[in-house]
Structure 1
Amino acid sequence: MTNLSLYVQVFIYVASGINHFWNAKVYQTIMPPYIPAPGLMVSLSGIAEIGLGIGLLFPATRSLSAWGLILLLIAVFPANVYMATSNRFARFPAWLRWARLPLQAVLIWWAYQYT
């Protein structure tokens, strides 16, 4: 993969991680009700995205960070399913809510390129 692809991926994860703190309420809203401590989970996932995204920059941590991102993407998948299937999010177009699900597979594949 090219350096541009790597830097774009780093930017996406670091920006998304920061957004977990700027818009924490939005992220808490899409947490399924069975997930305990949604505020803490949003903060932890934001920290993970920032740290793992930065870790992609360094050859010594790139593979470990990529595996961490893959695990993180799998861990947050239930929130995407909840958003796609819950009537709470009808204000968002259904196609957009459902498009996030296969996007996770693309993001996992993309991160896997750096393992």
Structure 2
Amino acid sequence: MSRTPHLLAAGLAATLTAAGALHLARPRVFEGLIPTALGSPRAWVYGSGVAELACAVAVAVPATRRAGGLATAALFVAVFPGNVKMALDSRPGARAWARRPAVAWGRLPLQVPLVAWAWQVSRGV
């Protein structure tokens, strides 16, 4: 049996864990992604951090890996509008590196391989 599916799942779980922990430890970095119409940005940032950690656990456990991969793909699609907002709000010379145009716009095409990665994990590929 190939170890590749397990390595893909472990890598995705590690990535989700890091992202989720960052959302919980440094929520201010992500608050600008949340449209004001949604209410408290902090609550949404914490919620997405918890969702990332839950997906990490689901992906790490073989019995829940398929559902975890699908949930992760859905999460990556769901946060894409926030990434678009960050790109539209980016400004040259911004203090925060994530608010600089090269970084903010450069993140957008990265969502495609992230969704594909999660999909592959869900399929055991």
Letter in structure 1 aligned against 2:21: I
* Contact 2:8 2:121 survives alignment (8 Å): no
* Contact 1:32 1:78 survives alignment (8 Å): no
The TM-score normalised by the length of structure 1 is 0.89
Cα RMSD (Å) of the superposition? Answer: 1.6
Q: Which deviates further from its counterpart, 94-103 or 46-55? A: 94-103
Counterpart for residue 39 of structure 1: 42
Structure 1: segments with no counterpart, 5+ residues? none
Residue 24, structure 1, aligned to residue 27, structure 2: yes
Decide which of 73, 78, 101 is 1:75's aligned counterpart: 78
The TM-score normalised by the length of structure 2 is 0.82
In structure 1, C-alpha distance between the alignment counterparts of 2:63 and 2:51, rounded to whole Å: 18
Structure 2: segments with no counterpart, 5+ residues? none
In structure 2, C-alpha distance between the alignment counterparts of 1:14 and 1:51, rounded to whole Å: 9
Q: How does 1:42-57 map to 2 (within 5 A)?
A: 42-57=45-60
In structure 2, C-alpha distance between the alignment counterparts of 1:71 and 1:37, rounded to whole Å: 22
In structure 2, C-alpha distance between the alignment counterparts of 1:58 and 1:94, rounded to whole Å: 37
Aligned length: 114
In structure 1, C-alpha distance between the alignment counterparts of 2:82 and 2:55, rounded to whole Å: 20
Once the two structures are superposed, what CA deviation does each residue of 1:23-53 show, in whole Å capped at 9, x if it has no partner?
A: 0111112223332221111111101100111
Decide which of 63, 68, 73 is 1:65's aligned counterpart: 68
Residue 98, structure 1, aligned to residue 69, structure 2: no
Per-residue deviation, 1:94? 1.9
Larger radius of gyration: 2
